[in-house]
Amino acid sequence: MNRGYVSGLVTGALIGGALVMWLAPQLSDSRRERIADAGRGVGRQARHWWQQGRETAEGLMDRI
């Protein structure tokens, strides 16, 4: 997964989540919490992918 894709995915998720919270203030607290949890999940997944990519790159550099 390339770096631009992951950063775009995370940025889009954050902006989308913020817009949902701003444009739909009538949402219930539980729904807001689920949306926030989903955003945090995307962030965790992005960090995981980033870590995997870094470890792969480090492994390749060790072979050189």
Residue 42: closest CA among 14, 21, 20: 14
Residue 46: closest CA among 6, 5, 2, 17: 6
pLDDT at residue 14 greater than cutoff 60: yes
Q: Does residue 35 contact residue 10 with C-beta atoms inside 8 Å?
A: no
Find the domain containing 51 and state its range: 3-63
Number of domains in the chain: 1
| Predicted local confidence at residue 59, as pLDDT | 87
Q: pTM of whole model > 0.85?
A: no
| Predicted local confidence at residue 27, as pLDDT | 63
Residue 26 per-residue DSSP state = T
Distance CA 16, CA 32 (A): 13
Half-sphere exposure of residue 54: CA atoms within 13 angstroms, side-chain side: 6
pLDDT at residue 3 greater than cutoff 80: no
